[in-house]
Amino acid sequence: MGDMIDNFLKEFFVMRPKNERLIGPHEGQEFDLIKRGNKTLAYFGPDSVSMHENYQKAKELGLGELEFYFDPIEVDENIFLPRYKAVIFYVTGYEQKAKRLEKLLIEAISLFGVNTKPKYLAGEREIGELLGYSKKQIDAYIDFQENLLIKIAERKNKNDQNYCCQ
């Protein structure tokens, strides 16, 4: 089961070439964008390359930090996301915006799945706006998420058929 989860996460988040990743268009640029005044929040989850480096850069810029944990969630019988730590760094004066982002991220994880798609995708749109992404980047991410949910539903239907028809 653990290998299946790892393969799923790698398939959708890690193994794609950087130019094909629709997630994290600001990846590797967050702190530069904050420094230039183009961004007020930066979110880093479990797929962040070096959390230690992120804390160092945030400290150098005098950013606030909001650490939180996502509770474990079972997307389906094959996909289980374990509890993990995440952090939002924010420019002074944007703590409320950071707290709103935290709330939306936690809600998004709890809504992840095909039965809650409209509410989930609406939350993802607001998350993108809070993180300073353009409408085009947000639309691309929403398309990516819709395709991901379709693939999960297809896999679930295939597994259900294999289970019932053996």
More confident residue, 2 or 149: 149
| Summary mean pLDDT of the chain | 76
pLDDT tens profile 134-155 = 898 888 888 888 887 777 777 7
Max avg pLDDT among 2-16, 24-38, 73-87 = 24-38
- Pairwise CA distance, residues 79 & 60, whole Å: 38
Cα angle value 15/6/87 (rounded, 5°): 80
User: Taking 60 as the threshold, does the pLDDT of residue 20 lie above it?
Assistant: no
Q: For the whole prediction, is pTM greater than 0.85? A: no
In whole angstroms, how large is the CA radius of gyration of the chain?
A: 17
**Distance between CA atoms of 47 and 54, rounded to whole angstroms?**
12
Looking up tokens 């094959």 gives: 78
Question: How do residues 32-58 score in pLDDT, each as one tens digit?
Answer: 999 999 999 999 887 666 788 889 999
